[in-house]
């Protein structure tokens, strides 16, 4: 059975998620914004075995812990291929404002829209949801949608950073996310959770 636990990481308190199988103890990490003692402690005490990292996008507040956990658990990191430039350039990913010298990294595996990752008998579906960044993705597994900084409870992601696109983001939300089952639980990159139904009905941007 898949379980999920949320942690706050990095200088901007990103929602980092650990998804894991309660029987096999294998798991994966979404958006490690920085090293997090609470995450480390939970992994150790619960005997979780992280298998990989997935990034919803490449902004500095979501990537600060990538190399820490990539080395600590000897695991690969996945990101959408259109995020290559964002991840490589501290000027674009804004990491210089948060980490000395900035961050320049590359994925071990580049993802595409509609990719499906098999994980312990479950399907992790990758939806390309650009706008907040060129290679932004939302991650759908079971009834959970990890929306990164694309869709929030009552709001949407910013589009005033380099490489952003407001039309792309609204199109992605309408065509890719609002077509999901209304009961889908949405777990954003910041602040609280919501549902697709709630955002369709009450999000003031729509």
CATH number (domain holding residue 39): 3.60.15.10
Over the chain (206 residues), the average pLDDT of each successive run of 10 is 97 96 98 96 98 98 98 98 97 92 96 98 98 98 98 97 95 98 98 98 98
Residue 45: which residues within 8 A CB-CB, separation 6 or more?
none
Number of domains, the chain: 1
CB atoms within 10 A of CB 146: 24
Closest CA to 108 of 130, 132, 142, 84: 84
For 105, the token pair is 């990294």
Q: Containing domain of residue 63, as a range? A: 2-202
pTM given for the model = 0.97
Give the pLDDT confidence score for residue 32 in this predicted structure. 98
């Amino acid at each position: 059975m898949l379980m999920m636990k949320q942690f706050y990481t990095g200088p901007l308190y990103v929602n980092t998620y650990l998804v894991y199988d309660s029987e096999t103890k294998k798991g994966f990490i979404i958006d490690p914004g920085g090293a997090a003692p609470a995450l480390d402690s939970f992994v150790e005490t619960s005997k979780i075995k992280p298998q990989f990292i997935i990034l919803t996008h490449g902004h500095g507040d979501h990537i600060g812990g990538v190399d820490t956990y990539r080395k600590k658990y000897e695991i690969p990191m996945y990101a959408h291929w259109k995020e290559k430039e964002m991840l490589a350039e501290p000027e674009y990913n804004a990491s210089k404002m948060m980490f000395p010298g900035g961050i320049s990294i590359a994925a071990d595996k580049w993802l595409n829209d509609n990719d499906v990752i098999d994980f312990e008998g479950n399907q992790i579906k990758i939806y390309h949801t650009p706008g907040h960044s060129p290679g932004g993705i939302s991650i759908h597994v079971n009834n959970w949608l990890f929306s990164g900084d694309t869709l929030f409870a009552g709001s949407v992601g910013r589009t005033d950073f380099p490489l952003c696109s407001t039309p792309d983001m609204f199109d992605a939300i309408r065509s890719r996310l609002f077509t999901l089952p209304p009961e889908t639980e949405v777990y954003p990159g910041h602040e609280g959770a919501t549902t697709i139904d709630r955002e369709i009905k009450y999000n003031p941007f729509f």
